[in-house]
Structure 1
Amino acid sequence: MKAVHFGAGSIGRGFIGQLLHDSGYDIVMVDVNTALVNQINAHQGYDLYLINHAYQKVTIDHVTALSATQDSQALIEAIVSADLITTSVWADNLAQIAPVILKGLVQRQHLQKSRLNILACENAFMNGQILHDEILKADTQQELIDLDAVAAFANTVVDRMVLDYVTAGQHSVAIGDSFELAIESSQLVDPKTPPIVGAEYTQNLQKYLERKLYIINCGHAWAGYIGYVLGYNIIQDVFARADLVQQVRQTMEESARLLVRKYDFTAADLDHYIDFAIDRYQTPGIKDPIARVCRSPIRKLGPQDRLVAPAVQLEQYGLPNELLLKGIAAALLFFNPQDEQCVILQKYLTDHGLPQTIEHFTAISAASPAFKKIMKSYDQQRQLLAQHRDGEI
């Protein structure tokens, strides 16, 4: 079997590439980085290092690489002969790879090749649908008779700790043990024939999307924003304090109560998931800047995102949400002059005041009990911020 994977970055090699290898595929990696393409071809593979096992080396073999910019004909031929296509190029870049995928699919159509699974393993909601739509947009000459007759685009949820790791002059990847790849089984070519070993297949992807967003992404962002208020610059300094770790856990537990109420998760399931998340954040030797964790606060304060969405739904169910609201208040205080969203947010706050800012960016109504709690927490944390960061706001 052959898989073509777009994106030979840390997720591509350290997560999807490993699963493809373990599933028995010969892999063609596609990337714009010529040096990385040459390195993979020189070794017919690449190395991974296991963070949880003293950085033990694992070699992923049966891998070749193509340049996305220089090997277009060979890439089209690889798509024509592929049994599976996967991507990890960042969702914003799916439009860049859609034209060459289109060309390969048009050739498959002419040759009457079998229908193909294409999995966009991107950290984006409805990632498969995004790629599907980008391929349709690229088909300006209407060469494909019917895209859905040629390929299937199942949406996915992806999560794993992967870090760039340079050793002996080679670009490698360090990976954590735990991972999540959930695949929307109903959208596969054949739901009874899973294409990747080790993935979780579900007919209800929404619950996995919300579990990751409301627990892992939520807890990470909460720790970052609270850590910023307390004067920390590295997220691991937050996770070095037992009291703050407990608060992060309790924040995740607020979201977990919501997920138990909405879906068929058990409290025990989500306790294990929270343990997995916190263990990751406490991995020795990792240094993650708070400026990176907290970046793009407008997006992270959105009504469908990691902090606001669970907080609002918990209020609707009459369940506790105080710690989530504290995180929202802290996010409103975050400022990094190099972050465009921070600049926009703080200017809006200066021009329009806190009440209008809360409503504008979170869509939380002033009539909501949550609104008043955010206002109160904002004032309390603003005082802490002034103590720890010399009054940056």
Structure 2
Amino acid sequence: MLALHFGAGNIGKGFIGYLLNKTGYDVCFVDVDQEAIDRFNETNRYHVELLDDAETTETVSPVSALNSLNQQEEVINRIQHADVITTSIGVHNLHRIAGTLANALLQRITWNHNKLDIIANENAINASSTLQAEVEKHVSPEEMEEILSLVSFPNASVDRLALSKEGADYETALVEPFYEWVINEKEMGNHDLPPIYGATYVNDLKPFIERKLFLVNMGHATTAYIAFLYEEPTIQSALENPDIETFVRGTMHESAQYFVENFDVSQDEMNDYIEKIINRFKNKNISDNIFRVGRAPLRKLGQNERLSKPTQELRRSGLPTEHLTVAIAAGFLFDNPEDEESVKLQNLIEERGIEKAIVHVTGLENDDICQAIQNNYTKLKEKNDLLSIVNQ
């Protein structure tokens, strides 16, 4: 069986490619890093090192790789022959591969009548649907109908911290022991292939996507933004501070009420899940730089994103948002001159003022929420006593 995966980055190597290989697939990566591509093809393997106390290392093989820039025909050929196609290139880059996919799929369906699933594993809601929409831009409605008779775009939710380590001989991915790959089974077209090792198949993906975004991603970003105010370099060092841990935990418990209110999940289940997340964040085998985690604040503070969306939903239900409005305020104070979005955010605040910046970036229309964020922004600039701000 052949799996074609777009994106040979940390998630591609340490998560998606790793599990596809365990399922029995020969994995071919498509990327633009020629040095990495050459290493894949020379060794036909790479290493995955677990960030656990035992420093467990596994070898993933056989693997190969293609360059999407100068091996277009080979990539198209692999698309036509693949048994499954996956991505982890970032949701904003999906449009870059859509034309190649469209071209290859039109050729594929003329002779290969096997069903094909294309799963975009990006840190976004319904990324596969986004990829499908991008493919549609390159074909006529009639051609897209033909493609969809054989090709499906099941959505997925993915969760695993993946880093990398430089090595002269092999590609090596560093990953936390925990992972979660949830796939919408109802949207799949090919049910003849074996289930992907370690993946969970569900009929309703929304609770899993939102749980990951509004709890894991939200908690991670919150920790980074608060850590910046406390001048802590990593997520792990920040959570050694009891005040920061207490605050992050409080923020996650607020967001968890959205799930208790809207899905068939108990408070005890959410409490257990929060403890699991906190323990993941505190893993001392990981050194997770706050500037990596907090990067792109314009996106992460956006209307339908990890901080603003649960705040809005909770306020509509009349539920507390004291911690969340502080976390959002901290995001507006995140100032990294090497991060393009951070620079734009600080320029926006300087040019238009914090009040207008909050409305512009978050899209929040509730005056009470925006006022709370603005008040917390002012308080955080004056002092870093998180708990007193929340308890006022």
| TM norm structure 2 | 0.90
Match of 1:270 in 2: 270
Match of 2:388 in 1: none
CA distance in 1, matches of 2:104, 2:77: 7
Task: After TM superposition, list the pairs within 5 Å mapping 1:134-153 onto structure 2.
Answer: 134-139=134-139, 146-153=146-153
Question: Could you list the per-position Cα deviations for residues 195-227 of structure 1 after superposition, in whole angstroms to 9, with x for gaps in the alignment?
Answer: 423212222222112101111111111111112
- SS for the counterpart of 1:261 is helix
Q: Is the 8 A contact 2:234 2:289 kept in 1?
A: yes
CA distance in 2, matches of 1:379, 1:113: 61
- SS for the counterpart of 2:176 is strand
Please tell me the residue identity of whatever aligns with 2:374. Answer: M
Cα 1:288/1:32, change in 2 over 3 Å: same
Please tell me the residue identity of whatever aligns with 2:179. Answer: F
Task: After TM superposition, list the pairs within 5 Å mapping 1:112-151 onto structure 2.
Answer: 112-139=112-139, 146-151=146-151
Q: Is the 8 A contact 2:45 2:170 kept in 1?
A: no
Match of 1:347 in 2: 347
Q: Is the 8 A contact 1:236 1:281 kept in 2?
A: yes
CA distance in 1, matches of 2:6, 2:366: 46
Match of 1:374 in 2: 373
Shift of residue 344 of structure 1? 3.2
Say which is worse superposed, 245-254 or 332-341, in terms of deviation: 332-341
Q: Is the 8 A contact 1:136 1:147 kept in 2?
A: no
Match of 1:391 in 2: none
Q: Is the 8 A contact 2:250 2:323 kept in 1?
A: yes
Please tell me the residue identity of whatever aligns with 2:78. Answer: A
Structure 2 unaligned regions, length at least 5: 386-392
CA distance in 2, matches of 1:239, 1:197: 33
Cα 1:364/1:132, change in 2 over 3 Å: closer
Q: Is the 8 A contact 1:229 1:384 kept in 2?
A: no
Please tell me the residue identity of whatever aligns with 1:214. Answer: F
CA distance in 2, matches of 1:166, 1:54: 20
Cα 1:327/1:80, change in 2 over 3 Å: same
Shift of residue 168 of structure 1? 5.5
Shift of residue 15 of structure 1? 0.3
| TM norm structure 1 | 0.90
- SS for the counterpart of 2:163 is strand
Q: Is the 8 A contact 1:161 1:280 kept in 2?
A: no
Shift of residue 66 of structure 1? 2.4
Q: Is the 8 A contact 2:329 2:377 kept in 1?
A: yes
1:87 aligns with 2:101: no
- SS for the counterpart of 2:337 is coil
Say which is worse superposed, 317-326 or 104-113, in terms of deviation: 104-113
Shift of residue 177 of structure 1? 1.2
Q: Is the 8 A contact 1:308 1:328 kept in 2?
A: yes
Match of 2:298 in 1: 298
C-alpha RMSD over aligned residues: 2.4
Question: Could you list the per-position Cα deviations for residues 17-42 of structure 1 after superposition, in whole angstroms to 9, with x for gaps in the alignment?
Answer: 11111212122222222222222222
CA distance in 1, matches of 2:354, 2:43: 57
Question: Could you list the per-position Cα deviations for residues 64-96 of structure 1 after superposition, in whole angstroms to 9, with x for gaps in the alignment?
Answer: 222323433333222222211111122222222
Q: Is the 8 A contact 2:14 2:175 kept in 1?
A: yes
Q: Is the 8 A contact 1:109 1:144 kept in 2?
A: no
CA distance in 1, matches of 2:299, 2:73: 39
Task: After TM superposition, list the pairs within 5 Å mapping 1:247-266 onto structure 2.
Answer: 247-266=247-266
CA distance in 2, matches of 1:372, 1:96: 40
CA distance in 1, matches of 2:349, 2:37: 46
| Identity level (%) | 35
